[in-house]
Structure 1
């Protein structure tokens, strides 16, 4: 197989590298010029005292209820006093000073309880409790229209409080994967609070919402819209030159084509649909195409590097690399299962979450740590294989000038593979930690900048473009059936013929002068 990277001159390859670096910097600058990817707002729940016990589909509108202050949680837990069962807390999204936008794409929310000990004293206060509630979510397009019921659900959460004036930890509340309505109303009816044995006053319930920034969403969607036709045209060009005219393709060429397909799917700007329709199911589409891309690019990395490590090349089939492919597929499937369990269920019920009890949270932590360890092992294997490939190319540079040139050109792709691999794996781990913090209500110890997100996204596209251009067969009509040995023989024969012509010309000139 004679690829484009083996035919380009050093100047052409250097110019191509500089061009890629310029575009890579541009992607970082585009993200760095924008705001943070997400914004957070804090809203205070208001308490409403109803005339009767609310049912699941009851609704309280702002300014249509009597105020209720200092609700005693122990009475709510024991349910001995019926009048406390009539209390419903409500909050409205967005807050008064903000406006709702479909560019938010999603809303993640957490709730935090602020309670105070009823009796004076320094006695030890138990810090754990379990909350059982009924929550309702409503939406509407216009303030003049009625509220539409989106979902009503029963739920439970473990809460942990600490301090004299107990400030409880944030717990996940609900997650919307489409912001179709211009305003939302949340009703929260506390049914039971267990294991808090002392008596407390409920001072406040804080409601925190997290969403994508409008400007960042526009920047990211604009990048997808611009890159989609470019990646599609390049994929069509690559497919024509690789598979056209009945040419027999190589495994590495087929993997490069698969990588190009995954990038085209990744760039497909389906997010425009969310601006015109209520489409929460697109979240699953995002998870599927992200998993497909990770599987495609990881398989390409390992097989591409392996072909430049071993002297005896394996067969032209994926079966020869099953030891590499199976762990990659299993890791991607495990990540997909987690996404389906968490976000897949939230399409039907926004209040569903797997982060409910300490036992489940511990199990999920172990699951995420296992996936992170697998990603780390993959990074180590990739680095070792690249180091072995570089050492092998250094030994080959002493053979001939052609081997030196070939090693230099293939070294370019190996370095690009190493940089892209490390940034992708690091970004993947960071995104999973970031999503865990958002989903579980943990304190935000890690934030992903806009420049990093657009930079990594641009790097994926640039790497796939470079792979398709450089791995594509050079002059397919001429070189389809020509091996590297035949090319070397033709080069030697051409040098011998030129030498004979030079000797003949010199002898003819000398005879003429005599």
Structure 2
């Protein structure tokens, strides 16, 4: 991104990490399995064929330790990187016992994947074996894989869809450790029975680039006081008039206040304290700004149409503004159902169950309907403004 003399890298970067396969016959949910350093490394293996007899999926742990070293240099995360998203990439190979595509499915493999996930963090100066638990959860995800007919042979790999795993709204610590299990039994119930030959798990870790954040926050730091000064000057001039502020002038003040809130560089706060709610707060700030902007457009067009009796009254626009309010409420509820819950459980996703998916789609569709009604209202009002302007011009020309 380039703006004037500012130059920044891409907003996000991703690194794909192949999970280290470890096994422990006496699996302990309070023990953290790590892939480095060598002294703390778990009992690892490369292939399922290397496992001792009696080892089951309950004893296998997939370990992801990030960031990974580069050129023998230990790297760490920066708080400027703001957030971290994990996406699961399974490597499933064809097996002779696979039954193929089911009549009711478009995929060769379509099953529920039960994941026992644990996430921990470590800071510089901590002992190598000290990991502080951050989150743990047993989650279900949909696994959908397909394979071409000519590749239905042992050794060929399925093409599987990406699986959202977790989302952290704050990247406050230096190192993170992710332990994943795909158990056969959980709470006395058999799970993960529809899997084929799963050889590896990879996780794509996506984070915001620190350089981009620095440029973005610098722009906010510059424009925030400028907008505040302009807003104070504007309202001071309005207050000096001999009449009360007009509705349109109040809307301009509201829009300026929403823009000021959006430009407030709260990202500096993440450099000092852990702020997992920053992503939710950012969504709310953007929602307030867009709601103010959409309302301003409606009132700006309407003030050119209303007569002297109706003009300058907010309640005259209640039908039009109800579309804006309805859309904002739907999107806010959807955001709270997804990212609001992730504040306590970063592994949560509303899309993993049929009920959650239908609920999310319902709110999105309702918001889309409100958006459609809004643009119908706005287009109609703009058309009426144009027609009214033409009539006035014709009257003026005929009078002269």
Do the two structures share a fold, i.e. TM-score over 0.5? yes
Gaps of 5+ in 1: 1-26, 73-79, 402-514
1:340 and 1:29 map into 2 onto residues whose CA distance is 33
Could you state the TM-score of these two structures normalised by the residue count of structure 2? 0.83
Aligned residue among 183, 186, 192 for 1:191: 183
Distance 1:96 1:246, change over 3 A: farther
Q: CA contact under 8 A between 2:57 and 2:183: conserved in structure 1?
A: no
2:28 and 2:95 map into 1 onto residues whose CA distance is 27
Q: Which residue of 1 aligns with 2:135?
A: 151
1:351 and 1:374 map into 2 onto residues whose CA distance is 31
Matched, 1:278 2:274: yes
1:71 and 1:202 map into 2 onto residues whose CA distance is 9
Alpha-carbon shift at residue 312 of structure 1 (Å):
5.4
Q: CA contact under 8 A between 1:115 and 1:204: conserved in structure 2?
A: yes
Per-residue CA deviation, residues 220-276 of structure 1 (Å, 9 max, x unaligned), is 111111111011111111221223577411111111111111111111110111122
Q: CA contact under 8 A between 2:120 and 2:133: conserved in structure 1?
A: yes
Alpha-carbon shift at residue 366 of structure 1 (Å):
4.5
Aligned residue among 322, 328, 337 for 1:332: 328
Paired residues, what number?
Answer: 367
Larger Rg: 1
Q: CA contact under 8 A between 2:334 and 2:364: conserved in structure 1?
A: no
1:257 and 1:251 map into 2 onto residues whose CA distance is 10
Q: CA contact under 8 A between 1:129 and 1:194: conserved in structure 2?
A: no
Alpha-carbon shift at residue 90 of structure 1 (Å):
0.9
Matched, 1:68 2:57: no
Point out the structure with the larger strand share. 2
Q: CA contact under 8 A between 1:175 and 1:350: conserved in structure 2?
A: yes
Aligned residue among 77, 85, 109 for 1:100: 77
Q: CA contact under 8 A between 1:43 and 1:207: conserved in structure 2?
A: yes
Q: Which residue of 2 aligns with 1:134?
A: 116
Could you state the TM-score of these two structures normalised by the residue count of structure 1? 0.65
Per-residue CA deviation, residues 387-420 of structure 1 (Å, 9 max, x unaligned), is 321332233235569xxxxxxxxxxxxxxxxxxx
Partner SS, residue 352 of structure 1: coil
Alpha-carbon shift at residue 330 of structure 1 (Å):
1.4
Alpha-carbon shift at residue 144 of structure 1 (Å):
4.6
1:394 and 1:136 map into 2 onto residues whose CA distance is 67
2:224 and 2:100 map into 1 onto residues whose CA distance is 64
Higher relative contact order (CA 8 A, sep 6+): 1
Alpha-carbon shift at residue 71 of structure 1 (Å):
4.5
Q: Which residue of 2 aligns with 1:173?
A: 165
1:246 and 1:282 map into 2 onto residues whose CA distance is 43
1:65 and 1:195 map into 2 onto residues whose CA distance is 24
Q: CA contact under 8 A between 2:7 and 2:215: conserved in structure 1?
A: no
1:227 and 1:277 map into 2 onto residues whose CA distance is 24
Q: CA contact under 8 A between 1:127 and 1:196: conserved in structure 2?
A: no
Alpha-carbon shift at residue 314 of structure 1 (Å):
1.2
Q: CA contact under 8 A between 1:130 and 1:158: conserved in structure 2?
A: yes
Partner SS, residue 381 of structure 2: helix
Partner SS, residue 92 of structure 2: strand
Matched, 1:118 2:114: no
Partner SS, residue 64 of structure 2: strand
Partner SS, residue 207 of structure 2: strand
Distance 1:243 1:191, change over 3 A: farther
Alpha-carbon shift at residue 277 of structure 1 (Å):
1.6
1:398 and 1:49 map into 2 onto residues whose CA distance is 85
Distance 1:309 1:121, change over 3 A: closer
Gaps of 5+ in 2: 103-107, 185-189
Point out the structure with the larger helix share. 1
